[in-house]
């Protein structure tokens, strides 16, 4: 037996469809009063909202079904969908931790990559909506935003990031034929001479969608023709950008072709790091990414969260940050004055044999200090004696447990990582410049 989810959605909607047909009939009834029609319109709207909530795929399936059967107004269902929120939830709940830890913010181990590889990661906020065009032909509107195949979340594909960054650098005057551009992005050819680039992009996911309407105007009459509905990721949505630079093409090249002259790898990486930072800043704050960037779409807010750029195999010390205030020591529990610890007498009450002093010995101690043995001193001694007889003497007879010391594990030598944090896109050229200068001064870092 083959399970058809679309057929199941239609079956689940049959009762609501019957009631919707009744209410639509009342709305179209010219003999009905205005109040009756208004009440029928409200009930029909509520029924359409219930239809849309049957399943995440219900809007698309039911609009297609109504268009084919004409049982009810398919365009009215689409209009209701436009007015409602489109929440995106990761279900079941076990999926969300997996998504957050692995897909949303991927962690890259630079120790297994060639020296001078670097990563760049930050969480940004959209200042303008992001537009894209999915290849899904079965959707409630004709222009859905790109979504991943597993979680159905709006996303920016790695290939889209690559194309947007390359376009931003092109607009800044960096041509495709440039050796540096080909080194970073690769050189795709039909024959075997093509090669991959050093940049590797990761997808960016969002958790919100919205709708944009564009209305192309007639060039002569200046009047709008037909409104076009576009699904988008709205301004204010956040996503995490992750990029990896790995000079894999340098591995073994010197041995294969000793006569080939190459610039030292750290110097090459320094140039590429500066260029990538320059292009990213321009792409996200000036030129935009996605579709219709010439109309201002696809721009990000200048401030970022959790921004960091890390270079592997490079000993480096970032500028010292302002140390946090030292937290106060934990408060000690309030102990009686005759105790030095929760289970130990104060030394003033301990005899030479380790037991409790007699009152005469304690009185001699007080007077020996030039003080008068007062009533409060006697009351304190009585309390100490009462505690000693009640539990202290028994505790003192118990042997102290032996503490087994664990062997100190050998700490393997750490892989040197140079890093700088980012708070804004304006930090990109400044912070990467520091790392680039450190790369140029590095020696013996060949792949």
Write down the pLDDT at residue 413.
62
Cα→Cα distances 352→285, 400, 419, 424, Å: 78, 19, 60, 68
Compute the average pLDDT of residues 261-268. Answer: 76
Cα→Cα distances 220→120, 217, 228, Å: 48, 9, 20
Looking at 74-180, which runs of residues are DSSP E strands?
Answer: 118-126, 130-131, 155-156
- Asked whether the beta carbons of 264 and 446 are under 8 A apart, the reply is yes
Name which of 411, 421, 348 is nearest 384 in CA terms: 348
- Asked whether the beta carbons of 260 and 254 are under 8 A apart, the reply is yes
Tokens representing residue 400 in the block: 């102290």
pTM, full prediction: 0.68
Write the pLDDT tens digit of every residue in 340-372: 777 777 888 888 877 888 888 888 888 887 788
Is the pLDDT at 223 greater than 90? The verdict is no
Compute the average pLDDT of residues 89-106. Answer: 70
Where do the structural domains in the chain lie, given as residue ranges? Answer: 5-83, 109-319+415-441, 338-379
427 vs 193: which has the higher pLDDT: 427
Q: How far is residue 21's CA from residue 258's CA, in Å, rounded to a whole number?
A: 80
Pairing, β 199-201 against β 204-205: unpaired
Mean pLDDT of the chain: 82
Q: How far is residue 314's CA from residue 237's CA, in Å, rounded to a whole number?
A: 35
Share of the chain above pLDDT 90, in %: 26
Which range, of 17-31, 237-251, 295-309, 342-356, averages the lowest pLDDT?
342-356
Tokens representing residue 308 in the block: 């960091």
Write the pLDDT tens digit of every residue in 105-146: 888 999 999 889 999 999 999 999 999 888 777 777 778 889
Is the pLDDT at 331 greater than 80? The verdict is no
Compute the average pLDDT of residues 188-211. Answer: 83
Write down the pLDDT at residue 239.
93
Compute the average pLDDT of residues 15-35. Answer: 87
Pairing, β 204-205 against β 417-424: unpaired
Determine the 3-state secondary structure of 162 from DSSP.
Answer: helix
Write down the pLDDT at residue 282.
94
Start-to-end C-alpha separation, the chain = 57
Cα→Cα distances 143→134, 292, 294, Å: 7, 13, 18
Write down the pLDDT at residue 62.
85
Write phi, then psi, for 176 (nearest 5 degrees).
Answer: -60, -35
What letter would DSSP give residue 286?
I
Write down the pLDDT at residue 201.
95
Q: Which residues contact 257 (CB under 8 A, 6 or more apart)?
A: none
Which range, of 125-134, 266-275, 326-335, 416-425, averages the lowest pLDDT?
326-335
Is the pLDDT at 265 greater than 60? The verdict is yes
- Number of C-alpha atoms within 13 angstroms, CB side, residue 187? 15
Cis-peptide into 92, omega within 30 deg: yes
């Amino acid at each position: 037996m083959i399970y058809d989810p679309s057929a199941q959605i239609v079956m689940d909607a049959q009762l609501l469809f019957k009631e919707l047909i009744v209410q639509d009939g009342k709305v179209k009834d010219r003999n009905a009063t205005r109040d009756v029609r208004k009440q029928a319109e409200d009930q029909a709207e509520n029924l359409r909202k219930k239809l849309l909530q049957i399943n995440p795929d219900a809007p698309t399936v039911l609009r297609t079904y109504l268009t084919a059967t004409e049982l009810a107004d398919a365009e009215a269902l689409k209009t209701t969908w436009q007015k409602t929120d489109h929440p995106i939830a990761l279900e079941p709940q076990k999926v969300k931790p997996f998504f957050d830890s692995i897909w949303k913010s991927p962690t890259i181990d630079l120790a297994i990559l060639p020296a001078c590889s670097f990563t760049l990661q930050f969480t940004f906020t959209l200042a303008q909506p992001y537009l894209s065009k999915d290849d899904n032909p079965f959707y409630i509107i004709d222009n859905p935003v790109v979504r991943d195949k597993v979680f159905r979340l709006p996303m920016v594909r790695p290939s889209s990031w690559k194309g947007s960054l390359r376009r931003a650098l092109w607009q800044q005057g960096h041509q495709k034929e440039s050796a540096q551009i080909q080194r970073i992005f690769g050189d795709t050819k039909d024959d075997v001479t093509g090669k991959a680039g050093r940049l590797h992009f990761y997808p960016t996911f969002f958790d919100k969608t919205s709708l944009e309407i564009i209305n192309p105007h007639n060039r002569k009459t200046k009047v709008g023709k037909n409104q076009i509905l576009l699904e988008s990721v709205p301004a204010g949505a956040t996503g995490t950008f992750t990029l990896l630079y790995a000079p894999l093409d340098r591995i073994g090249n010197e041995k294969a072709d000793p006569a080939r002259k190459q610039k030292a790898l750290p110097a090459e990486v320094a140039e590429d790091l500066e260029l990538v930072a320059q292009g990213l800043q321009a792409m996200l704050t000036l030129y935009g990414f996605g579709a219709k960037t010439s109309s201002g779409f696809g721009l990000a807010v200048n401030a970022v969260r959790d921004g960091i750029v890390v270079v592997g195999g490079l000993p480096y010390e970032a500028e010292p940050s302002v140390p946090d205030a030292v937290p106060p020591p934990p408060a000690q529990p309030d102990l009686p004055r005759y105790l030095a610890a929760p289970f130990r007498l104060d030394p003033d009450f301990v005899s030479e044999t380790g037991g409790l002093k007699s009152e005469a010995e304690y009185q001699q101690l007080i007077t020996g200090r030039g003080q008068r043995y007062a009533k409060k001193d006697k009351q304190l001694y009585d309390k100490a004696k009462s505690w000693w007889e009640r539990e202290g003497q028994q505790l003192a007879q118990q042997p102290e447990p032996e503490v087994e010391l664990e062997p100190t594990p050998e700490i393997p030598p750490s892989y040197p990582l140079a890093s700088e944090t980012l708070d804004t896109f304006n930090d990109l050229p400044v912070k990467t410049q520091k790392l680039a200068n450190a790369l140029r001064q590095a020696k013996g870092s060949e792949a």
